[in-house]
């Protein structure tokens, strides 16, 4: 393709390589992904929780993206997994460099410690400079989607999540205007995973290291205490592994653009963004929406992963 040829796709779909790998803490590996195609990376406005898709190699390496057009994804899905590799979702923690030296920083959670490493975690654990993945990412000037943090005119923001949401919370904090007020709650595996995040002075960041406590056992109570709610948090028996409830999409098929049945509440000026393990997020959603009557147009609840479910 010549430098002047128009792009074939309204997104970046290219092989990129790890150009730097750092084990930043016990549970996180930070990888800078680089490649000339990333010169075209761009989003309108702050990155916030911008997500991208990464394809990790399987037995037969990475799927080819040469000459990919609008049919690539559908064709890719039909190929056997050993050929197509493994697609997973990650957050752009940061963008470094510019032009052909543009690098996407991705912070990978290592979750092999509990014996459940998937292809994403395993790739990051072994990553060396030069290792390659396929990335699907926003192309400058084209609509890609993938940002769910939309606080509108809310007076306060609440961001809450587990370790998989730390990169998104970092992006949200970095993108918030200086006058924003609010709180961020982040549950991470161990104290040594706590990072220094930079955000507006009026947004408090609270780290909740589990240090052996069960997943979700600190996040729920901390969020409820912050909201002045006393309800007990209980994970429901049935959890949608693809939980995704935002003002524009409901994985359960609920109508989304409605005001709360109970009229106004003390949470009317709050916008809440909550992501992490689907069972933990479902339990929080139940309390915030059903019991505290939060306006569903002011909340985004996202299952970033589900215990025992791959992909």
- Residue range at the interface with ligand FAD (CB under 6 A); choices 5-13, 72-80, 175-183, 303-311: 303-311
User: Which of 121, 246, 282, 298: binder of ligand FAD (CB under 6 A)?
Assistant: 121
Stretch of 7-15, 101-109, 195-203, 259-267 lying at the interface with ligand FAD (CB under 6 A): 101-109
How far is 21 from 105, CA to CA, in rounded Å? Answer: 10
User: Does position 53 bind ligand FAD by CB under 6 A?
Assistant: no
Contacts of 78 (CB under 8 A, 6+ apart): none
Q: Are 79 and 174 in contact (CB under 8 A)?
A: no
Q: Should residue 116 be labelled a site residue for ligand FAD when binding is judged by CB under 6 A?
A: yes
Closer residue to ligand FAD, CB minimum distance, 147 or 267: 147
Q: Are 278 and 215 in contact (CB under 8 A)?
A: no
Shortest gap between Cβ of 122 and ligand FAD (angstroms)? 7
Residue 295 touching ligand FAD (CB under 6 A): no
> Residue 27, interface with ligand FAD (CB under 6 A)?
no
Cβ(51)–Cβ(90) below 8 Å? yes
**279 binding ligand FAD? (CB under 6 A):** no
Q: Is residue 25 at the binding interface for ligand FAD, with CB under 6 A as the rule?
A: no
Q: Is 143 in the site for ligand FAD (CB under 6 A)?
A: no
First to last CA, the chain: 33
Counting Cβ atoms within 10 Å, is residue 135 exposed (0-12), middle (13-18) or buried (19+)?
buried
Binding of ligand FAD at residue 227 (CB under 6 A)? no
120 forms part of the interface with ligand FAD (CB under 6 A): yes
CA angle 90, 92, 94 (to 5 degrees): 150
How far is Cα 195 from Cα 207, in angstroms, rounded to an integer? 9
Using rule CB under 6 A, residue 210 touches ligand FAD? no
Figure out which of the listed residues 88, 139, 180, 285 binds ligand FAD, where binding follows CB under 6 A.
88
């Amino acid at each position: 393709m010549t430098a002047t040829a128009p792009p074939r796709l309204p997104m970046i779909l290219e092989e990129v390589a790890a150009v730097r790998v750092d084990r930043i803490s016990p549970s996180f590996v930070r990888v800078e992904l680089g490649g000339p195609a990333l010169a075209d990376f761009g989003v309108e406005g702050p990155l916030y929780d911008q997500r991208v898709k990464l394809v990790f190699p399987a037995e037969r390496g990475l799927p080819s993206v040469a000459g990919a057009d609008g049919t690539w994804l559908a064709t890719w899905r039909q190929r056997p997994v050993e050929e197509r590799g493994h697609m997973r979702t990650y957050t752009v923690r940061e963008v470094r460099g510019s032009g052909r030296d543009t690098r996407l920083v991705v912070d990978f959670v290592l979750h092999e410690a509990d014996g459940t490493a998937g292809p994403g975690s395993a790739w990051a654990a072994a990553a060396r400079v030069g290792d390659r993945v396929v990335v699907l990412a926003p192309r400058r000037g084209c609509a890609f989607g993938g940002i769910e943090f939309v606080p509108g005119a809310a007076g306060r923001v609440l961001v809450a999540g587990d370790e998989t949401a730390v990169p998104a919370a970092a992006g949200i904090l970095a993108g918030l205007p200086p006058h924003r007020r609010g709180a961020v709650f982040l549950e991470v595996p161990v104290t040594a995973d706590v990072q220094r995040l930079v955000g507006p002075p009026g947004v408090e960041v609270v780290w909740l290291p589990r240090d052996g406590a069960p997943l979700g056992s600190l996040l729920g109570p901390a969020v409820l205490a912050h909201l002045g709610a006393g309800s007990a948090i209980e994970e429901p028996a049935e959890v949608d592994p693809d939980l995704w409830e935002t003002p524009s999409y409901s994985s359960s098929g609920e109508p989304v653009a409605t005001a709360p049945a109970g009229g106004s509440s003390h949470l009317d000026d709050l916008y809440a963004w909550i992501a992490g393990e689907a069972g933990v997020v479902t339990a929080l959603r139940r309390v915030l929406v059903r019991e505290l009557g939060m306006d569903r147009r002011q909340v985004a609840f996202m299952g970033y992963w589900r215990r025992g479910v791959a992909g």
